[in-house]
Amino acid sequence: MGKTTPCKIPLLFQSKLLCFSLLYLASTLFFALRNSLSPSQCGFKDPPFDPIQTPLFTYPHSYGEHKYALPARRSSCSSSVLFSDYKVVFKEIQDLCGNSSAFPPVLKYMQGNADSFGGHFGTKKSIAYFDHQNNSLDLPCGFFKKFPISDSDRTAMENCHGVVVVSAIFNNHDKIRQPRGLGSKTLETVCFFMFVDDTTLKGLEHHHLIYEKSNEFKIGAWRIVKVSSKNLYENPAMNGVIPKYLVHRLFPNSKFSIWVDAKLQLTADPLLLIHALVVSENVDMAISKHPFFIHTMEEAMATARWKKWRDVNALLMQMETYCENGLQPWSSNKLPYPSDVPDSALILRKHGLRSNLFSCLMFSELEAFNPRDQLAFAYVRDNMSPKLKLNMFEEQVFEDIAVEYRHSLKRVGIGANDEGSKASNSKGTKRASHELLFINGSSCSSCQNYLLKMWGS
């Protein structure tokens, strides 16, 4: 009787460590695949509709519009938002935009000429306009210089009567990216405008996306508007603030607007977004909460620490001015506002008295100090009257409706570094340290009570 030959284990499986590693890899891939295919636990859930399938524009490979996307910081989400049926939303938005009584002309704007576009209304002057109970009072809201664009672009902007999506690239700082997830009728009813300066325009010409001899420029969904920025602000970031906060004046006949920072690519239909975040919530404006900070002073300290604005003394003066005029750290007393610091890369508005007033007041503050709009946000919101009805949605919702990319290059401008750089890659809310009560050896005296309340002292 012959000897039985023992079953020989393949060499590959003789190592226990290797077997364990393979098992771990297999299980990890399984759960990753399952999570990627399963419905999202947060953000938007939309019913089926007929989106545009064909690309809106084909870029040359050299342009690199999809390079350097930033990873999402997704975590568990406390709530979800449901998109309504696209056809229902389309009709409802159309009916709203056609109802002139829903958007009465409630603000009168100051006219005149000045040596700056915003008229140099500092905090001491502009604070008189925060309480807007008298509708006959003229409000300073930019345009003390002519906004330098072509007549054909100006006419096209005035002819936008419904929803407008607005973005801007100055100093060739970003790439033009096409919106995704658009419904079949959206391009017929929603206007897309991208404001650029001469430097950006030359970059587009270099990649053969536009031709210099053309009178009008179009790249996919976006109408490109050339802004001759020589007569505006020396800082390109401040020029970008004009379409960001004065959109209701640039598009006087539009009823809703979405500001999209050029570092973002919109991945959801604008009509669905306006309906879900503004109309259904019955608010004037919708904006994402900041992923790390809830107090204005935290953002100010991060701005100085990460050199997002290099003039620290100017930041100190700005914060002291706000503290002197009543700025307080966030607390439950400010509810229903859940935070003092937004992520202002995406702003959705219904054009009306409160949102237009907020935008005008914000613009005056940004011209007075710097274009870091997160620093002035709570100061304007908390002091203005009538109060802004605001939807500050979760960061995870923001990540469901847009993809964020790194900027193309470092910004060149007065006092500015990389406007789009993140405060930190670490997760969680970052707390400021007590040593920042003093900046450059000077006591931040006006804000000491603010800081003590923020730290719970």
The predicted-structure confidence for 254-266, as pLDDT tens digits, reads as follows 999 999 999 999 9
Least confident residue range of 169-173, 307-311, 409-413, 448-452: 409-413
* Residue 23 scores a pLDDT above 80: no
Least confident residue range of 37-46, 350-359, 378-387: 37-46
Pairing of strands 217-219, 256-260: unpaired
How far is residue 68's CA from residue 66's CA, in Å, rounded to a whole number?
7
How far is residue 239's CA from residue 228's CA, in Å, rounded to a whole number?
10
Task: Using pLDDT thresholds of 50, 70 and 90, give the confidence band for residue 101.
Answer: confident
How far is residue 356's CA from residue 416's CA, in Å, rounded to a whole number?
27
Give the pLDDT confidence score for residue 316 in this predicted structure.
92
Tell me how far apart the terminal alpha carbons of the chain are, to the nearest angstrom: 89
Neighbours of 57 (CB within 10 A): 14
* Residue 422 scores a pLDDT above 80: no
Least confident residue range of 132-136, 169-173, 295-299, 413-417: 413-417
Instruction: Find all residues with CB under 8 Å of 43, minimum gap 6, and list them.
Output: 77, 80, 81, 396, 397, 399, 400, 401
Q: What is the 8-class DSSP label of residue 262?
A: T
CA-closest candidate to residue 357, choices 193, 100, 145, 138: 138
Give the pLDDT confidence score for residue 53 in this predicted structure.
75
Residue 39 dihedral angles phi and psi, to the nearest 5°: -60, 150
Q: Which residue has the higher pLDDT, 362 or 421?
A: 362
How far is residue 357's CA from residue 3's CA, in Å, rounded to a whole number?
94
Task: Using pLDDT thresholds of 50, 70 and 90, give the confidence band for residue 35.
Answer: very low
CATH architecture of residue range(s) 86-295+335-407 = Alpha-Beta Complex (3.90)
pTM for this one? 0.82
Give the pLDDT confidence score for residue 80 in this predicted structure.
58
Tokens coding 187: 């391009």
Neighbours of 342 (CB within 10 A): 23
Tokens coding 320: 């002291």
User: Residue ranges per domain, the chain?
Assistant: 86-295+335-407
**233 close to 119: Cβ distance less than 8 angstroms:** no
* Residue 288 scores a pLDDT above 80: yes
Give the pLDDT confidence score for residue 34 in this predicted structure.
45
Share of residues in the chain with pLDDT > 90 (%): 60
Q: Which residue has the higher pLDDT, 365 or 43?
A: 365
**50 close to 195: Cβ distance less than 8 angstroms:** no
Give the pLDDT confidence score for residue 126 in this predicted structure.
87
Which amino acid, 79? S
**226 close to 198: Cβ distance less than 8 angstroms:** yes
Give the pLDDT confidence score for residue 51 in this predicted structure.
75
* Residue 392 scores a pLDDT above 90: yes
* Residue 347 scores a pLDDT above 60: yes
Give the pLDDT confidence score for residue 36 in this predicted structure.
45
Share of residues in the chain with pLDDT > 70 (%): 77
* Residue 321 scores a pLDDT above 60: yes
Average pLDDT, the chain: 83
Neighbours of 337 (CB within 10 A): 16
Least confident residue range of 211-215, 333-337, 394-398: 211-215
CA angle 440, 446, 451 (to 5 degrees): 80
